[in-house]
Amino acid sequence: MHKFNNSIYILLLAIISTCLHLYKFDEIISFHGELGHNYFAVRNFYESGVISLVGPPTSHQWLSFGPLFYWFISPILYFGRFDIYLPALVMTLVHISIVPIAFVFINKLFAFKNAIITATLLALSPVFIQFSRDARFFSLVLVIYWPFLYALINKHYFLTFFLFSIMINFHFTPLVLVPGIVSYLFLTKHNGNLKNNLIRAALGLFIPQIPYIVHIILNSPITLIKLLAWVPYRIAGFVGILPKNNLNSEVITANNQSIVGFFSSIVSPENNLAIAFFILIILIYYFLKLKGEVHRLIKLLFLTSLAAVYIHGDPPSHYYLPILPLLIIIVSSSLVKLNFKLLAALFAMLVIFNVNYYFGDDVRFKQGLIPYQRQVKVVREILQDARGASIHLQRVGPYDHFEDDYAQNYQYLAWLYGSKPVKADQAQVIYTIYEKDGDVTYQRNE
């Protein structure tokens, strides 16, 4: 009977998670300049017959991510005829899968109750639903994270570094885990011969990076030197040796605010000092009371990763992505001794607190994101107005200082509907798209 009740709860949790992620799916699809740039790149690869050895660009012009995201999303875009609905749906389903994946590996590492609490937090926490709605490539790290953690704790050297290398192929934020990983492996007893373990680790790290390494060797050898200098450069700026990201009152304030947002994100979609303080109390309890090798690793990873993000200075919210699972584990481990009624009450409070977030208007549209259907409407109107003339699309709005005025989403849709935009000096008609306060208009410029 007990196992039957557990199975019912897991099934119910899966249904709830699916409903929360897919609610009003057509209305909350995220599409903006960065995704447009990514999808444009994929379509260019198909048209040119080239297999990409490099992935999406970073905010540094000289640096890109590995190609795994492009390889992952390419067949999905192709079978969806390059419409963004199918990749948006697949990314949502991938995020839904994080709940059972985490349950399986936390159950192996800890116990069934830990796994249930962790899975419930993952299903209900606004921050993970937000990652699903945003459908950004970096959140694929969360799928790999749980088997990576299991492999690390069990000292499967090849698998640990193979999975870690896959994660940094999608995004570089997991690099904040490196100090904790290295410290853990050096401070604990090794399984087998040290030399063989290092070879396995190096091989696991190397294999997923082969395409990117080939790209660097063939196209940009200087990138390797810049990569090796980047971490010391960041640290030197933080301690004041170089005039970049220096630790000052502004950086400290921004860092502290971002940490408040990080702590409160598993409960609230907005920064909440009271919730952050409550999470801090849980952290203190966890660090003082819970013992054992697994908890020792979690503590080490959490502290060293948080310090690395703090050194970065004024980090974007997604930089905390590789630390979020650790915070979830810490909270679930701290709550595991509560009885079912108390846990049910806490989860009920979490749902009630976020019911407007789950089912109300998407806060991203109030922050400036233009609904996808509105983007489609504008592009169709522009193409109808152009009457077959070659067009160039430019944009005025948030982030328009980025490449192509951050208008690649509109350019991609124009391409999708039959009119690939051209450079301004080659266009018969230029259209300027204006985004302001969540609304979008356009103007024709002959």
pLDDT in tens, 303-316: 999 998 888 777 88
The mean-pLDDT minimum among 143-152, 242-251, 277-286 falls in 242-251
pLDDT of 234-265, one tens digit each?
655 555 555 665 566 777 777 888 898 899 99
Q: Indicate whether 333 pLDDT > 90.
A: yes
Higher pLDDT, 267 or 136: 267
Read off the DSSP letter of residue 269: S
What percent of the chain is predicted at pLDDT more than 90?
57
Query: Mean per-residue pLDDT for 32-52?
Result: 90
Closest C-alpha to 135, from 36, 16, 58, 42 = 36
Instruction: Name the E strands within 144-209.
Output: none
What pLDDT was estimated at residue 431? Answer: 94
Confidence of residue 146 (pLDDT cuts 50, 70, 90): very high
pLDDT of 74-97, one tens digit each?
999 999 999 999 999 999 999 999
Q: Indicate whether 408 pLDDT > 60.
A: yes
What would you report as the CA-atom Rg of the chain, rounded to the nearest whole angstrom? 23
CB 145 within 8 A of CB 113: no
Residue with the two structure tokens 């798209």: 433
Q: Indicate whether 411 pLDDT > 90.
A: yes
Q: Indicate whether 204 pLDDT > 50.
A: yes
What pLDDT was estimated at residue 360? Answer: 87
Higher pLDDT, 221 or 267: 267
Query: Mean per-residue pLDDT for 331-340?
Result: 93
Q: Indicate whether 3 pLDDT > 70.
A: no
What pLDDT was estimated at residue 139? Answer: 86
What pLDDT was estimated at residue 210? Answer: 94
CB environment 190-207: b (16+ within 10 A), e (fewer): eeeeeeebeebbeebbee
What pLDDT was estimated at residue 246? Answer: 58
Confidence of residue 294 (pLDDT cuts 50, 70, 90): very high
**Domain map (residue ranges) of the chain:** 2-365, 372-445
Query: Mean per-residue pLDDT for 144-171?
Result: 95
Closest C-alpha to 322, from 201, 209, 175, 119 = 175
Distances (CA, A) of 190 to 162, 232, 259: 18, 29, 34
Distances (CA, A) of 98 to 65, 94, 152, 193, 427: 22, 7, 19, 34, 45
What pLDDT was estimated at residue 1? Answer: 41
This prediction's pTM:
0.90
CATH number of this structure's domain 372-445, picked from the four choices 3.30.70.360, 3.40.50.1820, 3.30.2300.10, 3.40.50.300: 3.30.2300.10
